[in-house]
């Protein structure tokens, strides 16, 4: 919904000026995959490398966002849609601020992810699929959530009682079951350099 009583303000300090000052492009890097697929692990490891390279970054992590921005949302299908919508709008603001904005969310529905992609220009959204089989994710279940979901204690749990719609054409696929974190971080950094997001030189 858009208010008819508001007018968008155009700042004199533009995104392009911020990018020029930062010496890198701003972009949304959207990690998606099952719980336990390694999204947060890879995202934070990539952020560490980018930070050391002088980039301005921020990682939106699923649990952290639900403690604040989306604390009033449940895990119903409607609230999951709203969760991703809010995150997408926030990430859009961050790229206007010149930041490399990374998100680590299951984001199980293709339509929601495509909705975020539609918020920004074509080259501003990079979808990275952290591909790991359900059985591997369950083995990594440090929070015990899959076990509780299989016991019926948690409803609408992705991969158990709620579907996960894998990306059909992601920008990058990471084998987070077979490859090491270091290997996957290298793949992401190489991809970002190829896209001229940043340079390690």
171 class by beta-carbon count within 10 Å (0-12 exposed, 13-18 middle, 19+ buried)? middle
Q: Which two tokens stand for residue 173?
A: 């696929």
Closest CA to 170 of 37, 28, 30, 27: 30
Q: Report how far residue 136's alpha carbon sits from residue 178's, in angstroms, rounded to the nearest whole number.
A: 10
Q: Count CB neighbours of 147 within 10 A.
A: 13
Which residues lie below 8 Å from residue 39, measured CB to CB, with a gap of 6+? Answer: 31, 32, 33, 104, 105, 106, 130
Q: Report how far residue 63's alpha carbon sits from residue 97's, in angstroms, rounded to the nearest whole number.
A: 23
Which residues lie below 8 Å from residue 10, measured CB to CB, with a gap of 6+? Answer: none
Active site residues per annotation: 107
């Amino acid at each position: 919904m858009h208010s008819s009583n508001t007018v968008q303000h155009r700042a004199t300090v533009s995104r392009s000026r911020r990018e020029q000052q930062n010496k890198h492009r701003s972009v949304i890097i959207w990690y998606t995959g099952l719980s336990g697929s390694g999204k947060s692990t890879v995202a934070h490891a990539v952020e560490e490398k980018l930070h050391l390279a002088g980039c301005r970054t921020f990682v939106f992590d699923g649990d952290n966002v639900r403690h604040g921005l989306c604390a009033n949302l449940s895990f119903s299908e409607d609230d999951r849609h709203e969760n991703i919508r809010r995150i997408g709008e926030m990430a859009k603001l961050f790229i206007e601020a010149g930041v490399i904005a990374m998100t680590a969310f299951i984001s199980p529905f293709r339509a929601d992810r495509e909705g975020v992609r539609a918020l920004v220009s074509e080259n501003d959204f990079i979808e990275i699929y952290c591909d790991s089989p359900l059985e591997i994710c369950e083995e990594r279940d440090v929070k015990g959530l899959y076990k509780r979901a299989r016991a019926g204690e948690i409803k609408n749990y992705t991969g158990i009682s709620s579907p996960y719609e894998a990306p059909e054409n992601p920008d990058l696929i990471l084998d987070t079951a077979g490859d090491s974190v270091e290997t996957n971080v290298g793949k992401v950094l190489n991809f970002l350099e190829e896209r001229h997001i940043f340079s390690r030189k």
